[in-house]
Chains A and B, each alone.
Chain A
């Protein structure tokens, strides 16, 4: 395969969720190399890592996100695609560290203080990373102080707050206020089952995402504004 064909093949693998040769899914691609092997091969053949990220991985996840928004695919397919993307991304990590490959931006995310739910946050982290962002995941039960310290360390980051309880979602107000005290220009996005856009306005946050794709749309809209 030439470079273009390799990139197209990697894109297909991520779009359809073909992680590696062993993966039984999808049936139509059984026995073929997956995103893992093809990315390794592409790098060995000198395909620029930035091309792999931008022309294959991000494009594939854009398509996945679009199909999900249009209800052409559902959560399981999205997650398998993300897994395929991660298998490719693992090969690119050294190039991020060296600065050869650039991310779209930084995204700090955490579940707010008093709350230990993390599965939704973890799904957002994964999907946002697949969309080309560097994710700094602070974990669960994250205080406003810890969010603040992270923002001071990464002043250009967008911050995402997750909560799953009515008792803890109220902490989003305090955290948002304190983040904006540190940096009035910081963008804050919130999410969580009890959260709504109306609550976003009340909390003083800039965005609300009902699902991980909503978070990606919000983040990408910020890069377009620059």
Chain B
């Protein structure tokens, strides 16, 4: 798992050809430092025979009803099993970022924070690829991954997800407002089955106005406060 310099440059809102030598060197140094100290972890829990109600936009697993919304339900509906995953970058990069900010090194602190986010996303990518390769051996395929709080799936369902997976959660804890701690953590679901399709994220058709990652291909605004 590696963090690409280009992804940090982009996350800083700097156009590709505007990153000067100072910034490039700083980002490279910060990536090296954060990769030394981070403590990435991943966990997957597989549940069989999910029941889907497309009209209600719901998925039922072991008696727990997830209010996925119709789009996500439709994307998962042909799954014969689902894999709930959690992953984290760990506390270390967040603590390092805070330390830098406290010392007045604001740019470095922001870069460390962005690297933490990229590491967490990298853990999610790793999980997804691992699940895909493992089930391919059995002739199965995987859907795209979906997380509470995105694609109009209410973030409160995070509580149900964490109750269901129990201790297999990389040590991530949830606040009452469903914030994951460490903050640089990921969670979600991947559908598994012989007849599933890996769809792209349909942001153009989604009415989740407040989704942080509306169209993942769009540049994220790093200064969105």
A-B contact count (CB 8 A): 108
- A74 vs B11: C-alpha distance when bound (angstroms): 11
Query: Is B101 interfacial (CB-CB < 8 Å)?
Result: yes
Q: Bound complex: CA of A193 vs CA of B213, how far in Å?
A: 9
Q: Are A114 and B177 interface neighbours, CB within 8 A?
A: yes
Let me know if B217 is at the binding interface, CB within 8 A: no
A120–B223 alpha-carbon span in the complex (Å): 7
For this complex, into which size category does the number of interface residues on chain B fall? 35 or more
- Give, as a whole number of angstroms, the nearest-CB distance from A61 to chain B: 14
| Contact between A210 and B22, CB atoms less than 8 A apart | no
Closest residue on chain B to residue A215 by CB atoms: B225
Q: Complex: how many Å from CA A166 to CA B101?
A: 26
Which residue of B has the minimal Cβ distance to A23?
A: B22
Q: Mark B98-111, 1 if CB is under 8 A from A, else 0.
A: 00010011110110
Binds B, one of A75-83, A145-153, A177-185: A75-83
**One of A3-11, A24-32, A41-49, A100-108 at the interface:** A24-32
> Closest CB-CB distance, B88 to chain A, in whole Å?
15
Q: A74's contact among B13, B105, B209, B225, by CB below 8 Å, is which? A: B13
A151 vs chain B, min Cβ distance (A) = 20
* CB pair A79 B155 closer than 8 Å: no
A193 to B223, CA, bound (A): 9
Residues in A88-133 with C-beta less than 8 Å from chain B? 114-117, 119-124, 126
* Given A76-B14, A126-B106, A166 contacting B149 (CB threshold 8 A): yes
Look across to chain A and name the residue whose beta carbon is closest to the beta carbon of B106: A79
Indicate if the CB atoms of B110 and A167 lie closer than 8 Å. no
- What's the Cα separation between A175 and B176 when bound, in Å? 18
**A199 — which chain B residues lie within 8 A by C-beta?**
210
* Contact (Cβ within 8 A) A211 B224: yes
Distance between B60 CB and nearest chain A CB, rounded to angstroms: 23
A15 CB to nearest B CB, Å: 16
Alpha-carbon distance A79/B222, docked complex (angstroms): 12
B residues in contact (CB < 8 Å) with A: 12-15, 18, 21-23, 97, 101, 104-107, 109-110, 113, 149, 154-156, 175-179, 181, 183, 209-212, 221-225
Leading 6 A-B pairs by shortest Cβ distance:
A120-B225, A114-B177, A194-B210, A211-B223, A79-B107, A191-B225
5 A-B residue pairs with CB within 8 Å? A75-B110, A82-B106, A123-B110, A165-B177, A209-B225
